[in-house]
Chains A and B, each alone.
Chain A
Amino acid sequence: MTLLMNILTVFVSVALVGNYVFSETLGICPFLGVSSKPSTALGMGLAVTFVMTLSNAVTFLVFEYLLKGKYEYLQTIVFILIIASLVQFIEMLLKKMVPSLYKSLGIYLPLITTNCAVLGAANNAVGNDMVSGDFILSTSYGFSAAVGFTLAIVIFAGVRSRMDEKDVPESFRGVPITLVAAGIVAMVFNGLLSGISFG
Protein backbone atom coordinates (compact mmCIF):
# COMPACT_ATOMS: atom_id res chain seq x y z
CA MET A 1 0.00 0.00 0.00
CA THR A 2 2.84 2.37 0.81
CA LEU A 3 4.32 1.53 -2.58
CA LEU A 4 1.11 2.60 -4.26
CA MET A 5 1.12 5.83 -2.27
CA ASN A 6 4.73 6.46 -3.26
CA ILE A 7 3.97 5.86 -6.92
CA LEU A 8 1.09 8.30 -6.67
CA THR A 9 3.31 10.90 -4.98
CA VAL A 10 5.90 10.52 -7.74
CA PHE A 11 3.19 10.85 -10.35
CA VAL A 12 1.71 14.04 -8.91
CA SER A 13 5.07 15.67 -8.30
CA VAL A 14 6.58 14.84 -11.70
CA ALA A 15 3.62 14.85 -14.08
CA LEU A 16 1.68 17.75 -12.61
CA VAL A 17 3.47 19.98 -10.09
CA GLY A 18 6.95 19.66 -11.57
CA ASN A 19 5.77 19.19 -15.15
CA TYR A 20 8.77 18.57 -17.40
CA VAL A 21 7.76 21.02 -20.09
CA PHE A 22 6.19 23.81 -18.09
CA SER A 23 8.32 23.97 -14.98
CA GLU A 24 11.55 22.13 -15.82
CA THR A 25 11.70 23.29 -19.47
CA LEU A 26 12.83 19.88 -20.71
CA GLY A 27 11.78 18.48 -24.07
CA ILE A 28 11.06 21.87 -25.60
CA CYS A 29 12.29 20.99 -29.11
CA PRO A 30 9.60 18.36 -29.79
CA PHE A 31 7.14 20.42 -27.75
CA LEU A 32 7.50 23.28 -30.22
CA GLY A 33 8.14 21.16 -33.29
CA VAL A 34 5.40 18.53 -33.15
CA SER A 35 2.57 20.45 -31.52
CA SER A 36 0.87 21.92 -34.59
CA LYS A 37 -1.96 19.35 -34.56
CA PRO A 38 -3.50 17.59 -31.52
CA SER A 39 -3.46 14.17 -33.22
CA THR A 40 0.25 14.25 -34.08
CA ALA A 41 0.98 15.66 -30.64
CA LEU A 42 -0.75 12.68 -29.06
CA GLY A 43 1.25 10.32 -31.28
CA MET A 44 4.50 11.93 -30.20
CA GLY A 45 3.39 11.84 -26.57
CA LEU A 46 2.62 8.12 -26.75
CA ALA A 47 5.94 7.35 -28.43
CA VAL A 48 7.80 9.34 -25.76
CA THR A 49 5.87 7.63 -22.95
CA PHE A 50 6.81 4.25 -24.35
CA VAL A 51 10.50 5.05 -24.71
CA MET A 52 10.83 6.99 -21.47
CA THR A 53 9.28 4.29 -19.28
CA LEU A 54 11.50 1.63 -20.82
CA SER A 55 14.63 3.77 -20.77
CA ASN A 56 14.18 4.61 -17.11
CA ALA A 57 13.80 0.91 -16.31
CA VAL A 58 16.93 -0.05 -18.26
CA THR A 59 19.09 2.87 -17.13
CA PHE A 60 18.16 2.15 -13.51
CA LEU A 61 19.32 -1.45 -13.79
CA VAL A 62 22.52 -0.49 -15.58
CA PHE A 63 23.33 2.26 -13.12
CA GLU A 64 22.52 0.23 -10.03
CA TYR A 65 24.36 -2.96 -11.00
CA LEU A 66 27.13 -1.79 -13.31
CA LEU A 67 28.04 1.84 -12.83
CA LYS A 68 27.30 2.63 -9.21
CA GLY A 69 30.33 3.51 -7.14
CA LYS A 70 33.21 2.98 -9.51
CA TYR A 71 32.10 4.10 -12.95
CA GLU A 72 29.65 6.89 -12.25
CA TYR A 73 31.52 9.29 -14.52
CA LEU A 74 30.42 7.16 -17.48
CA GLN A 75 26.78 7.89 -16.73
CA THR A 76 26.18 10.39 -19.54
CA ILE A 77 27.78 8.27 -22.27
CA VAL A 78 26.17 5.03 -21.17
CA PHE A 79 22.71 6.54 -20.71
CA ILE A 80 22.61 8.22 -24.09
CA LEU A 81 23.82 5.03 -25.76
CA ILE A 82 21.11 3.03 -23.99
CA ILE A 83 18.47 5.52 -25.10
CA ALA A 84 19.70 5.62 -28.70
CA SER A 85 19.84 1.85 -29.01
CA LEU A 86 16.50 1.48 -27.24
CA VAL A 87 14.87 3.82 -29.73
CA GLN A 88 16.44 1.88 -32.60
CA PHE A 89 15.34 -1.42 -31.07
CA ILE A 90 11.77 -0.26 -30.49
CA GLU A 91 11.62 1.00 -34.04
CA MET A 92 12.63 -2.40 -35.42
CA LEU A 93 10.37 -4.27 -33.01
CA LEU A 94 7.31 -2.21 -33.84
CA LYS A 95 8.00 -2.49 -37.55
CA LYS A 96 7.92 -6.30 -37.28
CA MET A 97 5.29 -6.85 -34.59
CA VAL A 98 2.83 -3.96 -34.71
CA PRO A 99 3.04 -2.38 -38.16
CA SER A 100 -0.04 -0.21 -37.60
CA LEU A 101 1.44 1.42 -34.49
CA TYR A 102 4.77 1.75 -36.27
CA LYS A 103 3.08 3.57 -39.10
CA SER A 104 1.45 6.08 -36.80
CA LEU A 105 4.53 6.64 -34.64
CA GLY A 106 7.12 6.04 -37.34
CA ILE A 107 8.35 9.56 -37.99
CA TYR A 108 8.51 10.54 -34.32
CA LEU A 109 10.54 7.61 -33.08
CA PRO A 110 14.02 8.66 -34.34
CA LEU A 111 13.41 12.17 -32.97
CA ILE A 112 13.11 10.84 -29.45
CA THR A 113 16.84 10.16 -29.12
CA THR A 114 17.51 13.89 -29.04
CA ASN A 115 14.55 14.65 -26.77
CA CYS A 116 16.31 15.97 -23.71
CA ALA A 117 13.39 14.97 -21.50
CA VAL A 118 14.34 11.30 -21.93
CA LEU A 119 17.95 11.71 -20.83
CA GLY A 120 16.82 14.24 -18.25
CA ALA A 121 14.38 11.77 -16.70
CA ALA A 122 17.02 9.04 -16.60
CA ASN A 123 19.56 11.37 -14.98
CA ASN A 124 17.06 12.86 -12.54
CA ALA A 125 15.74 9.47 -11.43
CA VAL A 126 19.26 8.48 -10.46
CA GLY A 127 19.89 11.72 -8.60
CA ASN A 128 16.47 12.04 -6.98
CA ASP A 129 16.31 11.01 -3.32
CA MET A 130 12.65 10.11 -3.58
CA VAL A 131 13.06 7.41 -6.22
CA SER A 132 16.75 6.42 -6.44
CA GLY A 133 17.50 2.87 -5.40
CA ASP A 134 14.00 1.59 -6.15
CA PHE A 135 13.29 -0.06 -9.48
CA ILE A 136 9.52 0.40 -9.51
CA LEU A 137 9.69 4.03 -8.40
CA SER A 138 12.40 4.90 -10.93
CA THR A 139 10.37 3.36 -13.71
CA SER A 140 7.22 5.14 -12.62
CA TYR A 141 9.24 8.35 -12.47
CA GLY A 142 9.94 7.97 -16.19
CA PHE A 143 6.34 7.07 -16.90
CA SER A 144 5.01 10.05 -14.92
CA ALA A 145 7.40 12.51 -16.56
CA ALA A 146 6.31 11.21 -19.96
CA VAL A 147 2.62 11.50 -19.08
CA GLY A 148 3.28 15.09 -18.01
CA PHE A 149 5.02 15.72 -21.34
CA THR A 150 2.09 14.21 -23.26
CA LEU A 151 -0.37 16.30 -21.28
CA ALA A 152 1.58 19.48 -22.00
CA ILE A 153 2.05 18.84 -25.70
CA VAL A 154 -1.61 17.88 -26.27
CA ILE A 155 -2.93 20.91 -24.37
CA PHE A 156 -0.59 23.18 -26.27
CA ALA A 157 -1.52 21.64 -29.64
CA GLY A 158 -5.12 22.58 -28.88
CA VAL A 159 -4.10 26.16 -28.19
CA ARG A 160 -1.99 26.32 -31.32
CA SER A 161 -4.70 25.05 -33.64
CA ARG A 162 -6.81 28.00 -32.48
CA MET A 163 -3.91 30.39 -32.95
CA ASP A 164 -3.47 29.63 -36.66
CA GLU A 165 -6.53 31.64 -37.58
CA LYS A 166 -5.45 34.79 -35.75
CA ASP A 167 -3.85 37.82 -37.37
CA VAL A 168 -0.48 38.14 -35.65
CA PRO A 169 1.91 41.13 -36.01
CA GLU A 170 4.47 40.37 -38.66
CA SER A 171 7.54 40.14 -36.44
CA PHE A 172 5.75 37.77 -34.10
CA ARG A 173 4.64 35.33 -36.78
CA GLY A 174 5.87 31.77 -36.45
CA VAL A 175 8.12 30.85 -33.56
CA PRO A 176 7.83 34.01 -31.39
CA ILE A 177 4.07 33.90 -30.96
CA THR A 178 4.28 30.16 -30.32
CA LEU A 179 6.78 30.78 -27.52
CA VAL A 180 4.69 33.56 -25.99
CA ALA A 181 1.62 31.33 -26.12
CA ALA A 182 3.61 28.52 -24.51
CA GLY A 183 4.61 30.93 -21.76
CA ILE A 184 1.01 31.86 -21.07
CA VAL A 185 -0.12 28.22 -21.10
CA ALA A 186 2.76 27.40 -18.72
CA MET A 187 1.68 30.22 -16.43
CA VAL A 188 -1.90 28.96 -16.36
CA PHE A 189 -0.77 25.37 -15.82
CA ASN A 190 1.60 26.22 -12.97
CA GLY A 191 -0.80 28.74 -11.45
CA LEU A 192 -3.67 26.27 -11.46
CA LEU A 193 -1.63 23.59 -9.73
CA SER A 194 -0.15 25.88 -7.10
CA GLY A 195 -3.71 27.07 -6.45
CA ILE A 196 -4.79 23.49 -5.85
CA SER A 197 -1.93 22.61 -3.56
CA PHE A 198 -2.35 25.72 -1.43
CA GLY A 199 -6.15 25.55 -1.36
Chain B
Amino acid sequence: MKLTDVKNQFADGLFNKNPLFVQVLGTCASLAITTTVKDSIAMGIAVTAVLTCSNLLISLLRKFIPNEVRIASYIVIISGFVTIVEMLMNAYLPDLAQSLGAFLALIVVNCIILARAESYASKNKPLPSVVDGIAMGLGFTLALFLLGSVRELFGAGTFLGFSVFGKNYTPIGMLTSPPGAFIVLGCLIALFQYFKKRFSVKKAASSDAKPDSGKPQEEQPDNASEAKEGDAS
Protein backbone atom coordinates (compact mmCIF):
# COMPACT_ATOMS: atom_id res chain seq x y z
CA MET B 1 0.00 0.00 0.00
CA LYS B 2 1.56 3.26 -1.14
CA LEU B 3 1.44 6.64 0.51
CA THR B 4 -0.24 8.22 -2.51
CA ASP B 5 -3.08 5.71 -2.23
CA VAL B 6 -3.65 6.73 1.37
CA LYS B 7 -3.55 10.38 0.34
CA ASN B 8 -6.09 9.75 -2.40
CA GLN B 9 -8.36 7.86 -0.05
CA PHE B 10 -8.33 10.75 2.41
CA ALA B 11 -8.95 13.28 -0.37
CA ASP B 12 -11.92 11.16 -1.47
CA GLY B 13 -13.31 10.80 2.03
CA LEU B 14 -12.92 14.42 3.05
CA PHE B 15 -13.65 16.14 -0.22
CA ASN B 16 -14.25 14.37 -3.54
CA LYS B 17 -16.61 11.72 -2.20
CA ASN B 18 -17.57 13.28 1.12
CA PRO B 19 -20.27 10.98 2.55
CA LEU B 20 -22.67 13.77 3.51
CA PHE B 21 -21.96 16.57 1.05
CA VAL B 22 -21.39 14.57 -2.13
CA GLN B 23 -22.96 11.16 -1.61
CA VAL B 24 -25.77 12.52 0.61
CA LEU B 25 -25.74 9.44 2.83
CA GLY B 26 -26.59 9.25 6.50
CA THR B 27 -28.84 12.28 6.37
CA CYS B 28 -31.25 11.17 9.11
CA ALA B 29 -28.70 11.27 11.89
CA SER B 30 -27.00 14.35 10.45
CA LEU B 31 -30.18 16.37 10.51
CA ALA B 32 -31.28 15.21 13.92
CA ILE B 33 -28.21 15.50 16.13
CA THR B 34 -26.38 18.53 14.74
CA THR B 35 -28.14 21.04 17.00
CA THR B 36 -24.91 21.42 18.97
CA VAL B 37 -21.26 21.09 17.98
CA LYS B 38 -20.58 18.66 20.82
CA ASP B 39 -23.23 16.18 19.73
CA SER B 40 -22.08 16.49 16.11
CA ILE B 41 -18.50 15.58 16.95
CA ALA B 42 -19.60 12.74 19.23
CA MET B 43 -21.81 11.30 16.50
CA GLY B 44 -19.02 11.65 13.95
CA ILE B 45 -16.57 9.80 16.16
CA ALA B 46 -19.09 7.06 16.94
CA VAL B 47 -19.78 6.54 13.22
CA THR B 48 -16.05 6.57 12.41
CA ALA B 49 -15.38 3.92 15.05
CA VAL B 50 -18.17 1.65 13.82
CA LEU B 51 -17.26 2.19 10.18
CA THR B 52 -13.56 1.41 10.70
CA CYS B 53 -14.23 -1.73 12.73
CA SER B 54 -16.93 -3.04 10.41
CA ASN B 55 -14.79 -2.34 7.34
CA LEU B 56 -11.93 -4.31 8.89
CA LEU B 57 -14.06 -7.30 9.86
CA ILE B 58 -15.99 -7.40 6.59
CA SER B 59 -12.77 -7.15 4.61
CA LEU B 60 -11.26 -10.01 6.63
CA LEU B 61 -14.36 -12.14 6.08
CA ARG B 62 -14.95 -11.14 2.47
CA LYS B 63 -13.96 -14.57 1.11
CA PHE B 64 -16.14 -16.47 3.60
CA ILE B 65 -19.41 -14.58 3.38
CA PRO B 66 -21.67 -16.14 0.71
CA ASN B 67 -22.88 -13.65 -1.84
CA GLU B 68 -26.58 -14.38 -1.29
CA VAL B 69 -26.66 -13.47 2.39
CA ARG B 70 -24.02 -10.77 2.37
CA ILE B 71 -26.32 -7.85 3.24
CA ALA B 72 -27.74 -9.69 6.25
CA SER B 73 -24.22 -10.65 7.37
CA TYR B 74 -23.02 -7.06 7.05
CA ILE B 75 -25.96 -5.82 9.09
CA VAL B 76 -25.26 -8.32 11.86
CA ILE B 77 -21.58 -7.30 11.95
CA ILE B 78 -22.45 -3.61 11.96
CA SER B 79 -25.10 -3.93 14.65
CA GLY B 80 -22.63 -5.85 16.80
CA PHE B 81 -20.21 -2.92 16.70
CA VAL B 82 -23.00 -0.42 17.23
CA THR B 83 -24.06 -2.29 20.35
CA ILE B 84 -20.46 -2.16 21.62
CA VAL B 85 -20.28 1.60 21.02
CA GLU B 86 -23.70 2.04 22.62
CA MET B 87 -22.68 0.14 25.75
CA LEU B 88 -19.34 1.95 26.04
CA MET B 89 -21.01 5.33 25.70
CA ASN B 90 -23.72 4.48 28.20
CA ALA B 91 -21.06 3.39 30.67
CA TYR B 92 -18.47 6.15 30.28
CA LEU B 93 -20.30 9.10 28.68
CA PRO B 94 -23.90 8.80 29.89
CA ASP B 95 -24.72 12.48 29.25
CA LEU B 96 -23.60 12.27 25.65
CA ALA B 97 -25.43 8.98 25.15
CA GLN B 98 -28.55 10.65 26.53
CA SER B 99 -28.36 13.59 24.14
CA LEU B 100 -27.72 11.40 21.09
CA GLY B 101 -30.62 9.27 22.25
CA ALA B 102 -32.27 7.00 19.71
CA PHE B 103 -29.83 7.99 16.99
CA LEU B 104 -27.00 6.09 18.65
CA ALA B 105 -28.76 2.80 17.95
CA LEU B 106 -29.74 4.03 14.51
CA ILE B 107 -26.09 4.05 13.38
CA VAL B 108 -26.96 0.47 12.31
CA VAL B 109 -29.08 1.78 9.47
CA ASN B 110 -26.76 4.65 8.61
CA CYS B 111 -26.40 4.14 4.87
CA ILE B 112 -22.72 5.20 4.85
CA ILE B 113 -21.62 2.12 6.74
CA LEU B 114 -23.51 -0.34 4.58
CA ALA B 115 -22.48 1.52 1.43
CA ARG B 116 -18.77 1.32 2.32
CA ALA B 117 -19.11 -2.34 3.28
CA GLU B 118 -20.78 -3.16 -0.01
CA SER B 119 -18.74 -1.00 -2.35
CA TYR B 120 -15.30 -1.04 -0.70
CA ALA B 121 -14.61 -3.43 2.17
CA SER B 122 -16.11 -6.45 0.42
CA LYS B 123 -13.70 -6.00 -2.50
CA ASN B 124 -10.47 -4.80 -0.87
CA LYS B 125 -7.77 -5.98 1.52
CA PRO B 126 -8.06 -5.25 5.26
CA LEU B 127 -5.51 -2.43 5.48
CA PRO B 128 -6.95 -0.23 2.69
CA SER B 129 -10.41 -0.95 4.10
CA VAL B 130 -9.39 0.39 7.50
CA VAL B 131 -7.93 3.51 5.88
CA ASP B 132 -11.14 3.89 3.89
CA GLY B 133 -13.18 3.61 7.07
CA ILE B 134 -11.12 6.27 8.83
CA ALA B 135 -11.13 8.60 5.81
CA MET B 136 -14.87 8.31 5.18
CA GLY B 137 -15.58 8.60 8.90
CA LEU B 138 -13.48 11.76 9.16
CA GLY B 139 -15.23 13.19 6.11
CA PHE B 140 -18.58 12.55 7.77
CA THR B 141 -17.34 14.04 11.06
CA LEU B 142 -16.09 17.14 9.24
CA ALA B 143 -19.45 17.57 7.52
CA LEU B 144 -21.34 17.11 10.80
CA PHE B 145 -18.98 19.58 12.49
CA LEU B 146 -19.67 22.24 9.84
CA LEU B 147 -23.42 21.65 9.98
CA GLY B 148 -23.41 21.66 13.78
CA SER B 149 -21.25 24.81 13.90
CA VAL B 150 -23.60 26.81 11.69
CA ARG B 151 -26.66 25.63 13.57
CA GLU B 152 -25.27 26.20 17.06
CA LEU B 153 -23.53 29.49 16.22
CA PHE B 154 -26.54 31.16 14.60
CA GLY B 155 -29.34 29.14 16.16
CA ALA B 156 -28.21 29.52 19.76
CA GLY B 157 -25.40 32.10 19.61
CA THR B 158 -22.95 29.68 21.22
CA PHE B 159 -20.06 27.47 20.15
CA LEU B 160 -19.37 24.30 22.16
CA GLY B 161 -21.59 25.84 24.82
CA PHE B 162 -19.67 29.12 25.14
CA SER B 163 -21.43 32.34 24.26
CA VAL B 164 -19.96 33.91 21.13
CA PHE B 165 -22.06 36.91 20.15
CA GLY B 166 -22.78 38.23 23.64
CA LYS B 167 -26.10 38.86 25.33
CA ASN B 168 -27.55 41.24 22.76
CA TYR B 169 -27.64 38.61 20.02
CA THR B 170 -31.10 37.25 19.27
CA PRO B 171 -30.65 33.62 18.20
CA ILE B 172 -32.33 32.43 15.02
CA GLY B 173 -34.21 29.72 16.89
CA MET B 174 -35.53 28.17 13.71
CA LEU B 175 -32.04 26.90 12.80
CA THR B 176 -32.00 24.47 15.70
CA SER B 177 -35.39 23.03 14.71
CA PRO B 178 -35.73 20.21 12.14
CA PRO B 179 -36.82 22.51 9.24
CA GLY B 180 -33.72 24.63 9.89
CA ALA B 181 -31.59 21.49 9.63
CA PHE B 182 -32.90 20.76 6.14
CA ILE B 183 -32.26 24.31 4.98
CA VAL B 184 -28.77 24.67 6.48
CA LEU B 185 -27.71 21.32 5.02
CA GLY B 186 -29.10 22.35 1.62
CA CYS B 187 -27.17 25.63 1.73
CA LEU B 188 -23.96 23.91 2.86
CA ILE B 189 -24.16 21.40 0.01
CA ALA B 190 -24.79 24.26 -2.43
CA LEU B 191 -21.75 26.10 -1.04
CA PHE B 192 -19.73 22.90 -1.33
CA GLN B 193 -20.74 22.44 -4.97
CA TYR B 194 -19.92 26.08 -5.65
CA PHE B 195 -16.41 25.76 -4.22
CA LYS B 196 -15.86 22.43 -5.90
CA LYS B 197 -16.71 23.92 -9.27
CA ARG B 198 -14.58 27.02 -8.69
CA PHE B 199 -11.72 24.86 -7.52
CA SER B 200 -11.82 22.66 -10.61
CA VAL B 201 -12.18 25.72 -12.88
CA LYS B 202 -9.20 27.34 -11.18
CA LYS B 203 -7.18 24.17 -11.57
CA ALA B 204 -7.96 24.07 -15.27
CA ALA B 205 -7.18 27.76 -15.60
CA SER B 206 -3.86 27.48 -13.81
CA SER B 207 -2.84 24.65 -16.07
CA ASP B 208 -3.47 27.11 -18.91
CA ALA B 209 -0.88 29.36 -17.21
CA LYS B 210 -3.25 32.04 -15.87
CA PRO B 211 -2.48 32.12 -12.17
CA ASP B 212 -3.87 35.63 -11.53
CA SER B 213 -7.37 34.99 -12.79
CA GLY B 214 -8.59 33.83 -9.40
CA LYS B 215 -7.69 37.04 -7.60
CA PRO B 216 -10.52 39.49 -8.39
CA GLN B 217 -13.15 36.90 -7.53
CA GLU B 218 -11.80 36.34 -4.05
CA GLU B 219 -14.63 38.24 -2.35
CA GLN B 220 -17.38 36.27 -4.00
CA PRO B 221 -17.51 33.31 -1.60
CA ASP B 222 -18.24 35.64 1.31
CA ASN B 223 -21.12 37.20 -0.53
CA ALA B 224 -22.41 33.81 -1.50
CA SER B 225 -22.32 32.51 2.03
CA GLU B 226 -23.98 35.65 3.33
CA ALA B 227 -26.71 35.31 0.75
CA LYS B 228 -27.21 31.74 1.85
CA GLU B 229 -27.31 32.74 5.48
CA GLY B 230 -29.94 35.28 4.48
CA ASP B 231 -31.93 32.51 2.87
CA ALA B 232 -31.72 30.44 5.99
CA SER B 233 -32.98 33.18 8.24
- Do chains A and B interact in one complex? yes
* Chain A residues within 8 Å of B, Cβ to Cβ: 22-29, 32, 73-77, 80-81, 84-85, 113-116, 118-120, 123-124, 127, 169-172, 175-180, 182-184, 186-187, 190
| Known contacts A119-B108, A120-B106; A180 and B75 CB within 8 A of each other | no
Q: How far is the CA of A170 from the CA of B80 in the complex (A)?
A: 42
User: Are A172 and B178 within 8 A (Cβ)?
Assistant: no
| Complex CA distance for A8 and B106, rounded to whole angstroms | 27
CB distance from A115 to the nearest CB of B (A): 7
Chain A interface SS verdict (over half): helix
Q: How far is the CA of A119 from the CA of B106 in the complex (A)?
A: 7
Q: Which residues of A contact B27 (CB under 8 A)?
A: 25, 28-29, 32
Tell me whether chain B's interface is mostly helix, strand or loop, or mixed.
helix
Bound Cα distance from A120 to B104, whole angstroms: 11
Q: Are B178 and A186 in contact (CB under 8 A)?
A: yes
What chain B residues lie within 8 Å of A127 (beta carbons)?
Answer: 102
| CA gap between A186 and B87 in the complex, in Å | 34
User: Which residues of B have CB within 8 Å of A172?
Assistant: 186, 190
B109 to chain A, nearest CB (A): 4
Q: B193 to A176, Cβ gap below 8 A?
A: yes
The answer, among A22, A119, A123, for a CB contact under 8 Å with B178, is A22
A74, B190: Cα distance in complex, Å: 40
The list of the 3 closest CB pairs from A to B, nearest first, reads A179-B186, A183-B182, A183-B183
How close is B115's CB to chain A, nearest CB, in angstroms? 9
* CB neighbours of A123 from chain B (8 A): 102, 105-106
